Amino acid sequence: MNLIDTFFNWTVLQGALPMLMRGLVTTILLGVVSILLGLVSGLLMALLRLYGTLPLRAVARIYIDVFRSIPILVLLVLVYYALPFIGIRLSSFASTVLTLSLVSCAYTAEIFRAGIQALPRGQFEAAEAIGLNFFCTMRDVVLPQAFRIVVPPLTSNCINVLKDTALASVVAMPDLLKQATQAQALAANPTPLIGAALLYLLLLLPLVRLVGYFEARHHASSR
């Protein structure tokens, strides 16, 4: 067999396409849920890290450091295979979402923290001078400005979460990579893996370009 028949076999790809599309839907669902949970929990973690009591700041700092350091694959295996020993049984979908959300929360918290601390101190003093409480200051003054700063790194983090969904295949989640691997085994041909790579590219390339767009806008507005 030549290169085309081995890696770019159109007949094999056509046969595997339904499986790949089902896997793509699962991958997108995993990514979207994990990203949303990571964004919300990461923002709360950043606020605890900056403005919580001393014990809460310490807990937040430890959480962020630990979950930015532990490999995602190791954490996923622990969540899926170790938790049942203490009576907590999660599906492969829930295990993957929990793992990705925990790690995304840590990275998102640092991104938000950097964005908030990048704001001039005068913004906080002005909010305090006009009588805004902490909640109103965050909602109306700080977070809208910080969000514009952190959009590029947040988008990059979202891309990483979507790519990390491929690890779900380790816990038998029928994501895009798992479906491609099964299609490869059925066809005895690696073409489905090439098809999965192309689908990942189509999914992630627009987001990569979006990061560049946001960075260009940020640099232009900061001049």
Q: What is the pLDDT of residues 132-184, one digit of tens each?
A: 898 999 999 999 989 888 988 998 999 999 999 999 989 988 899 999 999 99
The average pLDDT across 124-128 equals: 87
- Cβ 174 vs Cβ 22: under 8 Å: yes
Radius of gyration of the chain (CA): 21
Number of domains in the chain: 1
The CATH number that applies at residue 60 is: 1.10.3720.10
Cα–Cα nearest to 92, from 17, 176, 175, 28: 175
Position 219 pLDDT exceeds 70: no
Residue that the structure tokens 């899926």 belong to = 80
What pLDDT, in 10s, does the model give residues 17-48? 999 999 999 999 999 999 999 999 999 999 99
pLDDT at 67: 96
Q: How far is CA 206 from CA 148, 155, 185, 199, 213, in A?
A: 19, 11, 30, 12, 10
Binned at pLDDT 50, 70 and 90, residue 218 comes out as low
By three-state DSSP, how is residue 26 classified? helix
> What single-letter DSSP state applies at residue 88?
-
Q: How far is CA 103 from CA 3, 77, 112, 126, 160, in A?
A: 39, 14, 15, 35, 11
- Residue 24: domain span: 3-221
Position 222 pLDDT exceeds 80: no
Lookup: tokens for 8 = 């770019």
The average pLDDT across 2-23 equals: 89
